[in-house]
Amino acid sequence: MDTPAFHQGGDTALGFEWPGEDVSRVPFQVYTDQAIYDAEQARIFQGPTWNLLCVEAEIPNPGDYRTSYVGNAPVIVNRDETGRINALLNRCAHKGSLVCYKPHGNVRELTCVYHNWVYDLTGKLTGVAFKRGVGGKGGLSDDFDITQHGLRRLRVETYKGIVFGTFSDETPDFVDYIGGELAASIDRVMIKPLKVLGYHSQILPNNWKLYSENTKDSYHASLLHVFHNTFGIVRPSMGGGIKLSPNGWHHLSWTERVALEDQATTREKVRSLKDQYKLADPTMMAHKLELGDLVTNSIQSVFPGTVIQQIQNCLAVRQLVPRGVDKSELIWTILGFEDDDAEMIEHRLKTNNLVGPAGFISMEDGCVGGWVQQAAQSDPAGRTVMPMGGRTIEPSQGSRVTESAVRGFWKAWRECMHI
Ligand code: FES
Ligand SMILES: [Fe+2]
């Protein structure tokens, strides 16, 4: 894709100026400022970005729908009678009520409960209650054009069974958006039709961007997550690296059971509790090789708030929903393949104990963002510093000790925000 012009400097309407030229220092203000948060909704989430809506397997039949979000905008995703997937802003054209207030269901049409305006599954307004009034009195004004008041439609693309939506006509097609190399890494994991095994949802006590950064921050994985070193999913001595989309916006961090030739990294002291802790049920850590390689951990981000995850046999997509400047919601959809047998489903559900709000690995990520948020709130004029792996935005083969992908996030943020 063409990279949008990188606007230098500030935004007078927001009263905000990016300090310096590069993206290795981030002002705390971006995590606390309401005006910036509001601008992000328009410029990022409703701007030229693809956002996770659901997986196709959640809406297999005509009439199936589920509700979702793009940023703070509520969205309905459905499959219509032609089999096509529609994504509609979940906001009645009349007075703005939610049209679908249940998380999922199957319907022939969409009826707003407030005054019973009715839409078809493509979002077209097809009925208005009392449109001719009652007893010849009341009714719609003569100039009301029913064709002009449907539900706002989003563009939709499905990639390997994962459904994405965008509000913008300018967003490149999905594969161009993430680049061929990162598309291939989705192909690597999503090798068969998907099946939903369950969900986690958790409220994070921090601005959404702190979680987006966390998923791109491969530097912390073997340091913060003691479970990794103790039980061997990610260790600094393992092979792997970081891939970035050509524009730096999206990333993949992976680890594989292939020792690095350069063993210097193993001299780094990382916390491990292997002498103190044993798993009562070690079968949880069995890795059934199913993807044709020895990759133990593959965490892939799609800017701004989507994560596609393979941790051994634990597959998931994660959706990040901003809930205010200092709060966000993380929704995990836990996946398997349609043809999994009962034993494989049981195994995936066991490994799923690694993730989610109380996950043996993921629980720390639900905490550290809140600690940074506290710092940001107490000192919005302060700044973080991210010098690991230099100041540039480059892929890395072998080492994951880099903040390159996090700097890539801030490049994307600045380009979307025109800051
Ligand atoms: S708000 Fe939906 S019908 Fe009035
Ligand atoms: Fe983490």
Q: How far is ligand 2, taken at its centre, from the CA of residue 241, in Å?
A: 16
Q: Is residue 13 part of a domain?
A: no
Give yes or no: residues 211 and 124 share one domain: no
Give yes or no: residues 151 and 236 share one domain: no
Give yes or no: residues 144 and 87 share one domain: yes
Ligand 1 neighbour 231 (Cβ under 6 A): no
Give yes or no: residues 279 and 375 share one domain: yes
**CB neighbours of 336 closer than 8 A, spacing ≥ 6?**
194, 195, 197, 315, 344, 345, 348
Q: How far is ligand 1, taken at its centre, from the CA of residue 76, in Å?
A: 16
Ligand 1 neighbour 119 (Cβ under 6 A): no
Give yes or no: residues 123 and 252 share one domain: no
In the chain, the number of structural domains is 2
Ligand 1 neighbour 97 (Cβ under 6 A): yes
Give yes or no: residues 72 and 142 share one domain: yes
Give yes or no: residues 96 and 232 share one domain: no
In this prediction, residues 221-234 reach a mean pLDDT of 85
In this prediction, residues 380-407 reach a mean pLDDT of 90
pLDDT at 265 over 50: no
What was the pLDDT predicted at 292? 96
Q: What is the mean pLDDT of the chain?
A: 92
pLDDT at 114 over 90: yes
Q: How far is ligand 2, taken at its centre, from the CA of residue 388, in Å?
A: 17
Give the closest residue to 202 by CA, choosing from 362, 32, 31.
362
In this prediction, residues 266-292 reach a mean pLDDT of 83
In this prediction, residues 262-275 reach a mean pLDDT of 61
What was the pLDDT predicted at 264? 45
pLDDT at 240 over 80: yes
What was the pLDDT predicted at 259? 57
Give the closest residue to 214 by CA, choosing from 366, 353, 327.
366
Q: How far apart are CA 331 and CA 308, in angstroms?
A: 12
Give yes or no: residues 262 and 384 share one domain: yes
Which CATH number do you get for residue 85? Answer: 2.102.10.10
pLDDT at 354 over 90: yes
Q: How far is ligand 1, taken at its centre, from the CA of residue 89, in Å?
A: 14
What was the pLDDT predicted at 349? 97
Q: How far is ligand 1, taken at its centre, from the CA of residue 73, in Å?
A: 17
What was the pLDDT predicted at 12? 58
In this prediction, residues 214-236 reach a mean pLDDT of 87
More confident residue, 111 or 261: 111
Task: Give how far Cα 81 sits from Cα of 72, 121, 251, 304, Å.
Answer: 28, 8, 36, 31
Give the closest residue to 151 by CA, choosing from 119, 128, 126.
119
Ligand 1 neighbour 94 (Cβ under 6 A): yes
- Give percent of the chain above pLDDT 90: 82
Q: Is residue 304 part of a domain?
A: yes
What was the pLDDT predicted at 4? 38
Q: Is residue 243 part of a domain?
A: yes
Q: Is residue 282 part of a domain?
A: yes
What was the pLDDT predicted at 260? 53
Give phi and psi for 73, each to the nearest 5. -85, 125
Q: Is residue 250 part of a domain?
A: yes
Give yes or no: residues 67 and 204 share one domain: no
pLDDT at 322 over 50: yes
The atom number, within ligand 1, closest to the CA of 112 reads 2
The atom number, within ligand 1, closest to the CA of 115 reads 3
Q: Is residue 296 part of a domain?
A: yes
Q: How far is ligand 1, taken at its centre, from the CA of residue 68, in Å?
A: 20
Of 95-104, 252-261, 378-387, the least confident: 252-261
Give yes or no: residues 119 and 239 share one domain: no
- Amino acid making up residue 393: I
Angle at 290 between CA 307 and CA 180, to 5 degrees: 45
Q: How far apart are CA 175 and CA 414, in angstroms?
A: 22
- Give percent of the chain above pLDDT 70: 94
Nearest CA to ligand 1 atom 1: 95
pLDDT at 138 over 50: yes
What was the pLDDT predicted at 8? 46
Q: Which two tokens stand for residue 281?
A: 């049920």
Nearest CA to ligand 1 atom 3: 115
Residue range(s) defining the domain that contains residue 104:
51-157
What was the pLDDT predicted at 3? 37
In this prediction, residues 186-208 reach a mean pLDDT of 98
Which CATH number do you get for residue 245? Answer: 3.90.380.10
Give yes or no: residues 265 and 151 share one domain: no
Ligand 1 neighbour 16 (Cβ under 6 A): no
Ligand 1 neighbour 114 (Cβ under 6 A): yes
Ligand nearest to the CA of 101: 1
Give yes or no: residues 254 and 117 share one domain: no
pLDDT at 56 over 90: yes
Is there a contact between 215 and 364 (Cβ–Cβ < 8 Å)?
no
**Checking phi first, is residue 229 left (phi over 0); if not, alpha (psi -120 to 50) or beta?**
alpha
Q: How far is ligand 1, taken at its centre, from the CA of residue 366, in Å?
A: 37
Residue at a domain's end among 142, 157, 172: 157
pLDDT at 151 over 60: yes
pTM: 0.94
The atom number, within ligand 1, closest to the CA of 116 reads 3
pLDDT at 59 over 50: yes
pLDDT at 89 over 90: yes
Q: Is residue 392 part of a domain?
A: yes
Q: Is the peptide bond before 246 cis (omega within 30 degrees of 0)?
A: no
Q: How far is ligand 2, taken at its centre, from the CA of residue 114, in Å?
A: 43
Q: Is residue 162 part of a domain?
A: no
Nearest CA to ligand 1 atom 4: 115
pLDDT at 2 over 90: no
